[in-house]
Copies of this chain bind each other. A is one copy, B any other.
Amino acid sequence: MGEVEKYSFFLLRIGKLTANTLPPRQQDVLNAIVELTDKHGYPPTLQELATALGLKNRMTVHQHVVALKKKGMVHWESKLNRSMRVVGEGLRYISTDSKYAGEHYLSAAESAEPELPQAGVPLAGRIAAGAPIDAMETPEYLRIESEYADSGCFALEVKGDSMIEDGIFSGDYVIVKPSPSPHNGEIVVALLEDGSATLKRLFKENGGYRLQPGNSQMEPIFVPRSQDLQIQGVVVGLFRRM
């Protein structure tokens, strides 16, 4: 009985299929790859994919992924475990609301830690004052979290106006990459000897360091080499809600 229902499910989907679109099940596979990758922090195996999609055998998914690879939508190295990645055109098909296997999926996933998004924001073009929008034909995607999550980055909410001239406002989030040895002139999160923390631009000078605020009404802080200056990390990105 389960058999009949399963097939009627596919009939519906196939009915909608127009000529040159990606087959629906392959779209499901793309979404599943992305979702599982986000959830666990590493790409799935064929077995995991199959389970997530409600399939009984790995080979089904194997064939789908092979098809997707041939179309250039998935990067997958032969014989290499967990090497699947959705690339290029494939990114078009990933959607945020994931129900790629109908109701099958819910059964498979154990609710893991609170995590993860996907589906980047499409980068539509470039806007310059006075010029028409320079639209891009091949849409790129802004994938902010992905850019930073790997390298151990974390975010901090900024309070105060100490970096206002660098375009960092109170309420913004700075994305900080932990780095013990920042370069000259980078914006860093510094932990001073007294335990207080600041967001400043770091300059190495003879005798120690200068922590320069981005606000001409504020004074720079000089830290002699004898004092312990701990750098929590350098600011590599900024995000603002408006």
Task: Point out residues on A near B: beta carbons under 8 Å.
Answer: 34, 37-38, 40-43, 45, 75, 81-83, 85-87, 90-97, 114-133, 141-146, 148-162, 164, 167-169, 172-181, 187, 189, 191, 195-199, 213, 218, 232, 234-242
Contacts and interface: CB of A to CB of B under 8 A. Distances in A.
The 7 A-B pairs at the shortest CB distance, nearest first, are namely A117-B146, A118-B149, A128-B159, A91-B152, A129-B162, A124-B154, A238-B240
Given A43-B82, A119-B146, A144-B144, 12 more contacts: A34-B151, A85-B116, A95-B180, A96-B179, A116-B119, A116-B146, A123-B155, A126-B156, A129-B198, A167-B169, A236-B241, A237-B240
A44 to B, nearest CB: 10
Most B Cβ at <10 Å: residue of A125, A150, A175, A241: A150
A115 B158 CA distance: 28
A42 to B, nearest CB: 5
B117 A143 contact: yes
A117 B115 contact: no
Given A117-B37, A133-B197, A127 B156 contact: yes
Contacts of A40: 83
Contacts of A239: 142, 144, 237-240
Nearest to A122: B154
Contacts of A187: 242
B115 A141 contact: yes
A145 B218 CA distance: 35
Secondary structure of the A contact surface, majority rule? mixed
A133 B158 CA distance: 10
Contact of A120 (B149, B156, B196): B149
Nearest to A187: B242
A168 B129 CA distance: 12
B34 A198 contact: no
Nearest to A123: B155
A72 to B, nearest CB: 13
A119 B143 CA distance: 11
Contacts of A124: 154-156, 176
A139 B81 CA distance: 31
Contacts of A181: 95-97
Contacts of A169: 167
B118 A150 contact: yes
